[in-house]
Amino acid sequence: MEIKLNNTSKDVPAGSALSSVLRQVIALDAKGIAIAVNAQVVQKAKWNDFILQNGDKITIIKATQGG
């Protein structure tokens, strides 16, 4: 199935959990990140159980410092 990860198309197996896809692109213990699927934030505690659907749009948001 096809998903969008930060506006880039990616093919993943059907029934993939959000955590398995994220494992490929970030360290799951990374601090200061938030994940949204279809513009809805998914709590980190639910990443393992969140099953992606064809066409889902994942956005990885990284906190930055500065002013």
Per-residue model confidence as pLDDT tens digits over 50-64: 999 999 999 998 877
CATH of the domain at 55: 3.10.20.30
Name the residue range of residue 27's domain.
2-62
Q: Rounded distance, CA 13 to CA 61, Å?
A: 24
In a domain, 67, yes or no: no
To which residue do tokens 């749009």 refer? 57
In a domain, 32, yes or no: yes
Q: How many residues are there in the chain?
A: 67
If phi > 0 it is left, if psi is from -120 to 50 it is alpha, else beta; for residue 38 that is: left
Confidence (pTM): 0.86
Per-residue model confidence as pLDDT tens digits over 21-46: 999 887 666 788 899 999 999 999 99
In a domain, 40, yes or no: yes
